[in-house]
Structure 1
Amino acid sequence: MIEITHLTKRFGNAIAVDDLSFRAVPGEVLGVLGPNGAGKSTTLRMLTGFMSPSSGTAIVCGFDIRRQTRLAQQLIGYVPESGACYNEMSVSGFLGFVAQVRGLRGREKKLRVMALLEQFELMEVRGQTIDTLSKGFRRRISLAQAILHEPKILILDEPTDGLDPNQKYRVREQIKDMAQNKIVIVSTHIMEEVTALCGRVLVMNKGHLLADSTPCELESRSRYHQAVTLYAARPLDVMTLAMLPGVAGIEAGTEAYSVRVLARPGAVILPAINTLIVKQGWDVPRQEVERGSLGDVFRLLTREQRP
């Protein structure tokens, strides 16, 4: 388990992380979501022992990151935002070097490196220098080095930033596979990353923790939660729709004759809409019910924090 208690980091008069506390447990993929400058990377650097907190601490599987740094770091695999590769080295040479730093020798070292080359589909480029490879390959190499010593905790800072859709999918699938028996913490500012990977989300801004919840619960706070979009064959009577119980408002849709009907918090309006469609004889060949917009909630939370 990871337990962060009142973690704070100051740079002069500026507070990068302000009194942050949370827990994480094995089998959990925890997303840390926030805009640039939210304090995400600073939090991860303190958690991994690369930066000392101004106050507070983190307990990593029983070890205090301030007083027992080396013992805690042995349990952590870390992929910083900038990657973690020596670009002039070959792929296999770099992984071999990391294995040796992590205390692996001889046959054990060779077998572990070969296993990771296979796992991350790096065999075809194992002899190439890292600086000749695409960003997608470099991200996979960074992930491989992070789990080489089979850590209990995996910490990833913007793991798919800058990758194309196919590369993102591949890296995310690899992260999911690795998360089965580890604590995985993913820092990101990308909403789709959270919904694709995380079972729990911390929302940060300006060093403060604004929310600690599941993606579904956060989506339920959106003004678009349970909204129903109607795609009609001809114009609808929006005034009649607006008078239905539980309806909060009507917005124009993106297609001709389409409208989005917003629900009040906690209301489920689809049954009443369907009853009205039948009663009025409207031609509505398609409907969509929304879960809610995580981006909408994120903007609301960070906007409310502004002075």
Structure 2
Amino acid sequence: MIKTENLTKKYGFFTAVNSISFEVKIGEVVGFLGPNGAGKSTTMKILTSFIAPTSGSTSIAGIDIQKNPVQAKALTGYLPENSPLYKDLTVMEFLKFCASIRRIPGKMQKTSIEKVVESCGLHKVVYQTIDTLSKGYIKRTGLAQALIHDPPYLILDEPADGLDPNQKAHVHNLIKDMSKTKAILLSTHVLEEAQEFCSRIIIISNGTIAAEGSVKDICLKYGPTLSESFRKLTLP
């Protein structure tokens, strides 16, 4: 599972993440919701060992992320909010590069690349350079690199951002399908997405967890709709 315990991140006197604890198990899609600046992306960067926490612990499949980052990263696929892609490469060249740094054996690279090209709908652009792609295809290329080593744990920051309605439906179906065998933590500003395919949601505000549970349970406790519950929990 993906696990945090009393996770805290401070920047000087500012506390971006304040003693949060949660778990995401295999078979779950957990929506990580909150307003801008709430601490979502910071938490995801800690979970993927891009930044270190001030205190607290994080683990992937029982592996301490701070003590054994390479082992933890091998089990994790990460899609940042702004996909940091090498824009002078073609999609195919980029995916080959990602397969190599993930140490996928040469004989398996072709199969792995074909699989993510298919699942992410990249056939039409696979030989285009990334700098010529639309925002939607850039996002899908970023998703493909997160999936290329078939990790059991996925951390996805705004995976459907910038996609047109057809592309969003494709990605939503992909996430639903992957949730059968993976643990998925994803952030989104679109509450309807969270309602559609998240088995559980975590609402974070000012660096702390304001609510956690199923959409139904949160709405019963805080408001008749997820939107109203969200506003009640996150507005001053």
TM-score under structure 2 normalisation? 0.96
Hey, what's the Cα distance between the residues in 2 that align with 1:164 and 1:122? 14
- Corresponding residue for residue 211 of structure 1: 211
Check if 1:113 corresponds to 2:113: yes
Hey, what's the Cα distance between the residues in 1 that align with 2:92 and 2:227? 40
Q: Give CA deviations for 1:264-296 in whole Å, capped at 9, x if unaligned.
A: xxxxxxxxxxxxxxxxxxxxxxxxxxxx31010
Q: How many angstroms does 1:115 deviate by?
A: 2.1
What SS does structure 2 have at the residue aligned with 1:180? coil
1:84-163 equivalences in 2 (<5 Å)? 84-163=84-163
- Corresponding residue for residue 3 of structure 2: 3
Q: Give CA deviations for 1:43-75 in whole Å, capped at 9, x if unaligned.
A: 000011111000001121011011111111111
**Letter of the aligned partner of 2:65 in structure 1?**
I
1:227-246 equivalences in 2 (<5 Å)? none
How many residue pairs end up in the alignment? Answer: 236
Check if 1:15 corresponds to 2:15: yes
Hey, what's the Cα distance between the residues in 2 that align with 1:16 and 1:159? 22
**Letter of the aligned partner of 2:93 in structure 1?**
G
Q: How many angstroms does 1:222 deviate by?
A: 5.1
Q: How many angstroms does 1:163 deviate by?
A: 2.4
What SS does structure 1 have at the residue aligned with 2:162? coil
Hey, what's the Cα distance between the residues in 2 that align with 1:11 and 1:102? 31
1:76-91 equivalences in 2 (<5 Å)? 76-91=76-91
**Letter of the aligned partner of 1:298 in structure 2?**
F
- Corresponding residue for residue 26 of structure 2: 26
- Corresponding residue for residue 301 of structure 1: 233
* Structure 1: gaps (5+ residues): 224-291
Hey, what's the Cα distance between the residues in 2 that align with 1:125 and 1:23? 37
Hey, what's the Cα distance between the residues in 1 that align with 2:123 and 2:81? 24
1:151-230 equivalences in 2 (<5 Å)? 151-221=151-221, 223=223
Q: For the Cα contact (< 8 Å) 2:16–2:38, is it kept in 1?
A: yes
Q: How many angstroms does 1:165 deviate by?
A: 2.2
Q: Flag as ranges the 4+ runs of structure 1 deviating above 3 A.
A: none
* Percent of pairs with identical residues: 43
| Alignment RMSD | 1.3
Q: How many angstroms does 1:173 deviate by?
A: 1.3
Structure of larger gyration radius = 1
Q: How many angstroms does 1:221 deviate by?
A: 3.2
1:250-265 equivalences in 2 (<5 Å)? none
Hey, what's the Cα distance between the residues in 2 that align with 1:69 and 1:111? 27
Q: For the Cα contact (< 8 Å) 2:120–2:171, is it kept in 1?
A: no
What SS does structure 2 have at the residue aligned with 1:107? helix
Hey, what's the Cα distance between the residues in 1 that align with 2:79 and 2:45? 11
Q: How many angstroms does 1:171 deviate by?
A: 1.5
Q: For the Cα contact (< 8 Å) 2:79–2:157, is it kept in 1?
A: yes
TM-score under structure 1 normalisation? 0.74
**Letter of the aligned partner of 2:114 in structure 1?**
M
Q: Give CA deviations for 1:145-195 in whole Å, capped at 9, x if unaligned.
A: 101111110000011123232222222111212221010000122211211
Q: For the Cα contact (< 8 Å) 2:20–2:208, is it kept in 1?
A: yes
Q: For the Cα contact (< 8 Å) 2:139–2:162, is it kept in 1?
A: no
What SS does structure 1 have at the residue aligned with 2:180? helix
**Letter of the aligned partner of 2:17 in structure 1?**
V
**Letter of the aligned partner of 1:69 in structure 2?**
P
